[in-house]
Structure 1
Amino acid sequence: MEESPCNLEIDVNGQEIFWVNKRIIASYSGRLRKLFGKSIGKLGNAKVIFHDFPGGAESFELMARFCYDNAKTMLTPSNICVLHCVAQYMEMTKGVGSAQNLVELTEKSLEELGFWSWSELLAASKQCQEYIPIAESSGVLKRVLDSLVRRLVSFSDESAATSSPESSALRFSCDTRSTESLKNSFYRVNWWFEELAVLEPVLIEKVINTMVCQKLDHVMISKFLFYYHKCKSSRANTDLKRKITESVIDMLFSLDHSSVPCKSLFGILRMSLSLNISKSSRNKIESMIGLQLDQATLDNLLVPSPQGMNSLYDVNLILRLLKSFLLEGRTWASSDRLKKVSNLMDLYIAEVAPDSCLKPSKFVALVNALPDSARNSYDAIYRAMDMYLEVHSGLSEEEKMKICCTLNYEKLSSEVCIQLTQNPKFPSKTAVQVLISQKSKLKNLLLQTNQFKGFADSPCNCNEKQNKADPEQSSEQIVLYAKNLDDSAENQKIKAHLQGMQWRVMELEKICKKMQAQMEKIMKSKVSSSSTTRALPRLCS
């Protein structure tokens, strides 16, 4: 039979124009049969324009060869996926006469995905990312990625089960890579990082979702994502770098947060500061960091302040991280994680205190961000406060008092209390409050000591009322004195009086220590006397 002329012009995605026989192509394509209807056999040229043909001009040529060769085109791993997508796009599900069903042929070939090599699966994945919508709707993308990740999981299991690269190479000898390459790759657990890093973010997201579904180790996934971010960002412009960063943050957020290193998250966070990432992505990475803030270091927290802010460091960021940490109170309530964060924050506050642009309200917010129970001692806060008041010497007395009110005087050591009462940078009222606090603490100690004395039937009980009354009376005197203070006129008198009061506090501390030592001796003597009254064993019958 004489071949019909090429009477159909097809523009494929603006890449190339093909002249084909209308009847031959339409005999395989339901899409074209619908388009032309009864005019298929009529003479005259026609033109069709495709804007989203899967795979472009190259895949159209593959399809045309299939039609012209009476479906004798060889199906291989390198063209099955694209032909399957083309078959779906062109609706090549039914043939006319002896025409073969291309969808059915490619479906049968795809059933052998489990026997494809790693390189063939990776190549198919790269092809699919060029026409993701049709590859996803046709189901071929999911099948390829499932097989790819399944193969990756089997590689991981094999490498974990044996330390012999040679045996692993023999198991996967179907791979197109050389045996020597396989041997070298199995020495590295992360050998696949570099190979998957060529995929675009839109496809990597689907790969990661598949990895999570197939329960690949989240620690390994997170390591790959950090590697991927580093590789892709190094050669990207600002807009692309922002999209990659947001995509990686979203993928990391889908993992078990304990598997994502805090240090690496700070690296991405620092990069994102100049990229203006979305608020959603920023909240996600701050939440991930906040949940494991106890693993951070001081260098991690010293993030430069954003543009437009005068302060040296981004204090608002740290406050947000602390808030995220505290929101998960159930995780740190029964552990020492809160103490670690407290020590870290004390170091941070000491580092930012000399910043002349740090507002008093922000300094106070940093100190108050953690509950009082987080700190066993406020000595470090006092030292940071001392530096802050030295740099901000122009603050009013009211502002200084607001700052000093963040101190818990009862958790200051005796040495620091002495320093504070003699420190001219602190308001004089603060020194009085310190002495009141110390007197109250000594009162409690004396009460406890007297209780021990009563338990031991000590003859000193007659002096109990006197010992209990002295601290209380002194405290009342200090309160009355503090109310009548004239800070400006009696500054020197205040210092002299406070030094005298401090001497009394130190004397009371010595008395408490002596009494506690006496109680310990009494308790030990009671224990030893009770042990000597036991019945002695008989030496002879």
Structure 2
Amino acid sequence: MGSTSLDSGKATVSGRKHNKCVILPANENMVAEALEKRNQNWTVRARVANDLIIQVGDSSFQLHKLAMVSKSEYLNRLVFQRRSNGAKDTLPKIQIDNFPGGSEIFELVVKFCYGCKVDLTASNIAPVHCAAHFLEMSDDLEQGNLISKTEAFLSFVLFSAWNDIFRILKSCESISLWAMKLQILQRCSDAIAWKACIDPKLFTLSEDDAISLNVLENDAENLKHKGIAENWWFEDVSCLRIDHFVEVIKSIKRKGVRSELVGSCVAYWTAKWISGPDNLPKHPTHHLLRVTTESLVRILPEEENSVSANFLLHLLKLGIMMRISSELLNEVEKGIALKLENCRVSDLLVKNYGNDDTVYDVGTVSRVVEAYASSILKNPTPKLLVVGKLVDGYLAQVSRDDKLSVEQFRSLAEALPNDARYCHDNLYSAIDAYLKAHPRLTEEERTSVCAAMDYHKLSQEGLEHAARNDRLPVNITARLILLEQVNMARSMTSVGSNYQSTKTQAIIRVNRCVENEWMTSRNEIKMMREEVENMKMQLSELQKCKMQIQRRAKGCLISKRIFGSEHSVA
């Protein structure tokens, strides 16, 4: 830092590279011969006897009125009030509660009042500055008093070393109310924001900063070759406590930093502190986590692409666990719903951490999909089919989880409207995977799993596979086979066969099964499948005969044209 002198009488302010400042009062009203400390008790020895006791927390300070009241309007007023009230005690005692920084900082104030050197650093400047304001140590009482000296050093630190700003914020954790009242938090946040939103090579780095950034001071070429990323400040900012982090993010937003960068920083902080049970703060209270979650939601950038859907899902899951306000939960839900049309299956994978839970949080995803379905009722979107495919892919991913209940699977499968799937092959694949992973389901549960599938929307290949799938419930299999019979009958009719009666009979059988909810035995299913195979063979033969007849008819037509042409020439 070099050396700076602010002379007023014997006052000096000096500093070094590590932003350390030594201050003295402008005028020495009383010189201390010795400062003695025994346990928690301080005694200042001077040529005159002690005539004031000040109790700060568990510590007692035996002092002199002249030294203290000459620099503190607060103490001056308390002593005067005691005289006005007629107090005749020779050694008045003043109790000070909630003193900023406690007895350790009051000790520095005492040294300053008695003309001793006081070392100011980035770690103690904030509490000392707050203590000076608490005691009302302004220049109105004495030029070069403690408020003006701490203000000068504080302003210097805020515009010099990057790391020292974070030391100041750390020291403010125990004096948050005073630090906020005196705008120390605001000033630190603005200083961080100012440095974070400009190119690192444009501000001077201290030795510690140069090491932390792995660059040389004022070496622009080195900065360029090292390729410092625009998120170089994430790690330092993520070390802040949530209330301080919120203030910094607000300042960064005001500076106009890109929303994607702000959102990434919020996600970085969240991943560091509350991404899972192993990363939660030690012994967190429910209230602390609730306040933290609500704070994170409130500072999210409003821009659509500022954060990922996966991060928002994690935040929504945390919000549901912490029971944050429904208004904030709805806000997060809407944010995710807006992103579904551009999501991948991996974006929806949010792990659970309980031993009895499913591997992935299906309930939260169902909640978001339902919110999306509600939103498109008012504003239909052409990308609904894309979301339908996304949900089917997610179902296929989570279906193998043996702890996934039938209700959870069905709830998600039915969350979207009917027109969300043009073809149900993907949904059928997910259902088949679920049935395969849960072989002990009852017939009723199997039917419930299949409730969302419309077998009329299966492709021919999907229909053939499903009709031979023994994992499907018997009544569904019967309907699929009968539907296949109907399709066969139609095909055989179209090639000119006499199977109109077969077609009619098959349709009647399907209708009866549907109306009576007929449950067919496995033997009957087997017979129906054999009948379908026979019909396929017959259809194949009919198609071959039809092709032969068509080829012969075509050959006769060509011959007729040739001979007719020759006759015409003759």
TM-score range, shorter chain: 0.5 to 0.7
How far did 1:180 drift? Answer: 1.3
Contact kept in structure 1, 2:490 and 2:503, CA below 8 Å: no
Helix, strand or coil for the counterpart of 1:172? Answer: coil
Separation of aligned partners in 1, 2:488 and 2:338: 40
Task: Say if 2:296 is the partner of 1:251.
Answer: yes
Which letter maps to 1:126?
A: K
**Which residue of structure 2 lines up, in the alignment, with residue 193 of structure 1?**
234
Separation of aligned partners in 1, 2:432 and 2:124: 73
How far did 1:207 drift? Answer: 1.5
Distance 1:420 1:144, change over 3 A: closer
Task: Determine which of 42, 48, 64 is the counterpart of 2:110.
Answer: 64
Contact kept in structure 1, 2:474 and 2:519, CA below 8 Å: no
Question: CA-atom RMSD, angstroms?
Answer: 5.1
Task: Determine which of 248, 272, 283 is the counterpart of 1:239.
Answer: 283
Distance 1:244 1:341, change over 3 A: same
Task: Determine which of 99, 109, 116 is the counterpart of 1:53.
Answer: 99
What do residues 249-308 of structure 1 show as CA deviations (whole Å, max 9, x unaligned)? 7325522362223445667789x69xx951229958973655535534348527347344
How far did 1:118 drift? Answer: 3.3
What do residues 118-164 of structure 1 show as CA deviations (whole Å, max 9, x unaligned)? 345444333333311111112333233223322322x2xx35xxxxx
Task: Say if 2:154 is the partner of 1:118.
Answer: no
Task: Determine which of 471, 477, 494 is the counterpart of 2:508.
Answer: 477
Which letter maps to 2:93?
A: K
Task: Determine which of 191, 201, 216 is the counterpart of 1:147.
Answer: 191
**Which residue of structure 2 lines up, in the alignment, with residue 301 of structure 1?**
349
Helix, strand or coil for the counterpart of 1:405? Answer: helix
Separation of aligned partners in 1, 2:150 and 2:279: 37
Alignment of 1:332-351 (within 5 A): 333-334=380-381, 336=383, 338-351=384-397
Q: Which has the higher helix share?
A: 1
**Which residue of structure 2 lines up, in the alignment, with residue 530 of structure 1?**
none
TM normalised by structure 1 equals 0.68
How far did 1:408 drift? Answer: 1.7
Query: Which structure 2 segments of 5+ residues have no match?
Result: 1-28, 31-46, 545-570
How far did 1:240 drift? Answer: 4.0
Separation of aligned partners in 2, 1:52 and 1:230: 35
Contact kept in structure 2, 1:439 and 1:505, CA below 8 Å: no
What do residues 22-64 of structure 1 show as CA deviations (whole Å, max 9, x unaligned)? 2331233232233233546966223333342222334323333
Distance 1:138 1:331, change over 3 A: farther
Contact kept in structure 1, 2:163 and 2:209, CA below 8 Å: yes
Helix, strand or coil for the counterpart of 2:283? Answer: helix
How far did 1:316 drift? Answer: 2.4
**Which residue of structure 2 lines up, in the alignment, with residue 172 of structure 1?**
204
Task: Determine which of 53, 65, 78 is the counterpart of 1:9.
Answer: 53
How far did 1:74 drift? Answer: 9.4
Which letter maps to 1:477?
A: I
**Which residue of structure 2 lines up, in the alignment, with residue 132 of structure 1?**
176
Task: Determine which of 297, 315, 319 is the counterpart of 2:366.
Answer: 319
Helix, strand or coil for the counterpart of 1:260? Answer: coil
How far did 1:86 drift? Answer: 1.6
Task: Determine which of 68, 73, 91 is the counterpart of 2:136.
Answer: 91
How far did 1:412 drift? Answer: 0.5
- Larger CA deviation: 214-223 vs 279-288: 279-288
Distance 1:435 1:495, change over 3 A: closer
Distance 1:90 1:444, change over 3 A: farther
Distance 1:75 1:35, change over 3 A: same
**Which residue of structure 2 lines up, in the alignment, with residue 458 of structure 1?**
none
What do residues 364-422 of structure 1 show as CA deviations (whole Å, max 9, x unaligned)? 22321222322232113223333444565665555444433321223211122123334
**Which residue of structure 2 lines up, in the alignment, with residue 456 of structure 1?**
none
Separation of aligned partners in 2, 1:413 and 1:248: 46
Contact kept in structure 2, 1:378 and 1:411, CA below 8 Å: yes
Contact kept in structure 2, 1:10 and 1:19, CA below 8 Å: yes
Helix, strand or coil for the counterpart of 1:145? Answer: helix
Which letter maps to 1:487?
A: T
Which letter maps to 1:53?
A: F
Separation of aligned partners in 1, 2:270 and 2:285: 9
Residue correspondences, number = 474
Distance 1:333 1:509, change over 3 A: farther
- Larger CA deviation: 255-264 vs 17-26: 255-264
What do residues 472-526 of structure 1 show as CA deviations (whole Å, max 9, x unaligned)? 967753445535867348555544555567789999999xxxxxxxxxxxxxxxx
- How much identity, in percent, do the aligned residues show? 24
Distance 1:384 1:181, change over 3 A: same
How far did 1:8 drift? Answer: 2.1
How far did 1:111 drift? Answer: 6.8
Query: Which structure 1 segments of 5+ residues have no match?
Result: 160-167, 450-462, 511-541
Contact kept in structure 2, 1:353 and 1:384, CA below 8 Å: yes
Separation of aligned partners in 2, 1:174 and 1:351: 51
Separation of aligned partners in 1, 2:471 and 2:329: 40
**Which residue of structure 1 lines up, in the alignment, with residue 248 of structure 2?**
207
Helix, strand or coil for the counterpart of 2:60? Answer: strand
**Which residue of structure 2 lines up, in the alignment, with residue 222 of structure 1?**
263
Contact kept in structure 2, 1:54 and 1:86, CA below 8 Å: yes
Which letter maps to 1:188?
A: I
**Which residue of structure 1 lines up, in the alignment, with residue 307 of structure 2?**
260
What do residues 227-263 of structure 1 show as CA deviations (whole Å, max 9, x unaligned)? 4445557786542498579626732552236222344
TM normalised by structure 2 equals 0.65
Separation of aligned partners in 1, 2:168 and 2:519: 85
**Which residue of structure 1 lines up, in the alignment, with residue 19 of structure 2?**
none
Contact kept in structure 2, 1:31 and 1:90, CA below 8 Å: yes
Task: Determine which of 45, 48, 63 is the counterpart of 1:20.
Answer: 63
**Which residue of structure 2 lines up, in the alignment, with residue 533 of structure 1?**
none
